[in-house]
């Protein structure tokens, strides 16, 4: 009897252990697949052109919140007589928590994504706002991952550029090795090497001469004569500045002597007084500047002068004719010619013009 009771207890413990293990395994399966017994599920489908690296059981996220998992991934079967749609090549069935059914609407979009750059693949769904809820086994619009496509396209472009660049670099290196171009000749031509070596030797000799104090630059670098002259010049400048500060010399007196300032101030005062007298009409200059009678006389004189000038230009008066009549000029020119002839005759035969006749009455 005790032996039979011990065997029963052992069997009971084994049974309990197996039951607990099965429960843990079921809970793990439910956790991995998302088929929890306390959260009702429903299925939706989407169609994509490619599902690379997307596996069954991959998470499904709604704007970043995990709401389900991928149940199956399969190729869309061909239909006889109908062409295949490249954008609907792969059918993906997803099990979604029914609590989010009112957030996944007909204006939502499902697309595969990658966590990071090389992470796991998952399906993301954008939350809808204006559409109707997608029913069980309904279809949600699918979209290809644009970021990954752009990365692949840019990677291919970068690889192409790198390939072209490597080809150019190989050609450049080959040309240099063959002595083509300036760099190739510089690296392969022995004459260029000898020239460069000579230049370096001459440069070294020039630096040695400069260090030895030879030449103008060498004396400038190694001789203390220039430094001494500059130092003496600075000392002389300091002495001159000291004399100026002490008020010595013309420049020192000009800067520090208050007499010049007093004289300038007095001159400015006298000039101000003179300007005040002129503005007040005092003195000849004041009357000339401020007296209206002088202005009227000058205006009248200028008017008379203008009138006289107009009469001279009109050629109606004697003086006007004298200035503008060409006959007067002709007569004067003829008279001048006659006088010149008369003086010439007088010089040749003065007796002709000095004949004296005496008559007695």
158 and 139 housed in the same domain? no
| pLDDT value at residue 207 | 84
* Confidence class for position 1, pLDDT limits 50, 70, 90: very low
Position 246 pLDDT exceeds 90: no
Residue 277 lies in a domain: no
Report percent pLDDT > 90 for the chain. 14
171 and 136 housed in the same domain? no
φ, ψ of residue 349 to 5 degrees: the values are -140, 80
47 and 14 housed in the same domain? no
87 and 166 housed in the same domain? no
Residue 24 lies in domain: 1-33
Q: How many domains, in total, are found in the chain? A: 4
Position 230 pLDDT exceeds 70: yes
54 and 122 housed in the same domain? yes
Check residue 315 and report its DSSP letter. T
Mean pLDDT in residue range 41-63? 89
pLDDT tens figures, 250-288: 777 777 777 777 778 888 888 888 888 777 777 777 777
Count of CB atoms situated within 10 Å of the CB of 54: 19
Residue 177 lies in a domain: yes
Mean pLDDT in residue range 8-14? 66
For 52-136, where are the E strands, in sequence order? 59-62, 65-75, 90-97, 110-114, 121-125
Residue 69 lies in a domain: yes
Residue 278 lies in a domain: no
Residue 318 lies in a domain: no
Position 345 pLDDT exceeds 50: yes
Residue 75 lies in a domain: yes
164 and 139 housed in the same domain? no
Tokens of 3: 């032996």
What's the CA gap between 120 and 283, in Å, rounded? 109
φ, ψ of residue 93 to 5 degrees: the values are -105, 130
78 and 162 housed in the same domain? no
What's the CA gap between 200 and 311, in Å, rounded? 94
- What is the spatial order of strands in the sheet that 121-125 belongs to? 110-114, 121-125, 59-62, 65-75, 90-97, 41-48, 138-139
Residue 115 lies in a domain: yes
In the block, tokens 């230009």 appear at 313
Residue 333 lies in a domain: no
Domain boundary among 188, 212, 240: 188
115 and 101 housed in the same domain? yes
11 and 104 housed in the same domain? no
| pLDDT value at residue 35 | 47
Range among 35-44, 49-58, 215-224, 241-250 rated most confident: 49-58
Helices and strands (DSSP H and E) totals, the chain: 12, 7
Domain boundary among 88, 113, 144: 144
43 and 82 housed in the same domain? yes
- The b/e string for 287-325 (b: 16+ C-beta within 10 A; e otherwise) is eeeeeeeeeeeeeeeeeeeeeeeeebeeeeeeebeeeee
What's the CA gap between 225 and 240, in Å, rounded? 22
What's the CA gap between 134 and 103, in Å, rounded? 9
73 and 158 housed in the same domain? no
Q: How much is the mean pLDDT over the chain?
A: 78
Tokens of 162: 């790198």
24 and 76 housed in the same domain? no
């Amino acid at each position: 009897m005790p032996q039979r009771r011990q065997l029963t207890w052992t069997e009971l413990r084994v049974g309990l252990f197996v039951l607990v293990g099965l429960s843990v395994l079921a809970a793990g399966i439910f956790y991995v697949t998302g088929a929890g017994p306390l959260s009702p599920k429903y299925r939706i489908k989407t169609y994509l052109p490619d599902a690379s690296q997307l596996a069954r059981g991959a998470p499904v996220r709604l704007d970043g919140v995990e709401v389900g998992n991928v149940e199956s991934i399969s190729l869309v079967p061909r239909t006889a007589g109908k062409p295949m749609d490249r954008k609907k090549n792969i059918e993906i069935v997803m099990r979604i928590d029914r609590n989010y059914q009112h957030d996944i609407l007909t204006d939502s979009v499902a697309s595969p994504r990658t966590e990071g750059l090389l992470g796991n693949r998952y399906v993301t769904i954008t939350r809808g706002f204006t559409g109707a809820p997608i029913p069980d086994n309904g279809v949600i619009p699918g979209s290809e991952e644009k970021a990954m496509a752009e990365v692949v396209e840019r990677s291919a472009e970068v690889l192409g550029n790198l390939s072209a660049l490597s080809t150019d670099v190989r050609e450049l290196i080959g040309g240099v090795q063959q002595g083509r171009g300036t760099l190739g000749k510089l690296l392969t031509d022995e004459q260029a090497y000898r020239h460069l070596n000579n230049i370096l030797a001459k440069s070294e000799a020039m630096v040695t001469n400069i260090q030895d104090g030879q030449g103008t630059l060498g004396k400038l670098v190694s001789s203390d004569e220039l430094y001494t002259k500059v130092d003496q010049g600075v000392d002389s400048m300091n002495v001159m500045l000291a004399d100026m500060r002490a008020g010595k010399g013309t420049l020192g007196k000009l800067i520090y002597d208050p007499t010049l300032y007093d004289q300038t101030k007095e001159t400015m005062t006298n000039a101000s007084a003179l300007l005040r007298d002129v503005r007040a009409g005092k003195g000849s200059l004041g009357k000339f500047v401020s007296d209206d009678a002088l202005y009227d006389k000058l205006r009248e004189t200028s008017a008379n002068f203008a009138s006289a000038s107009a009469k001279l230009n009109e050629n109606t008066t004697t003086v006007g004719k004298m200035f503008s009549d060409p006959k007067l000029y002709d007569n004067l020119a003829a008279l001048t010619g006659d006088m010149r002839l008369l003086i010439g005759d007088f010089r040749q035969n003065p007796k002709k013009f000095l004949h004296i006749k005496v008559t007695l009455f």
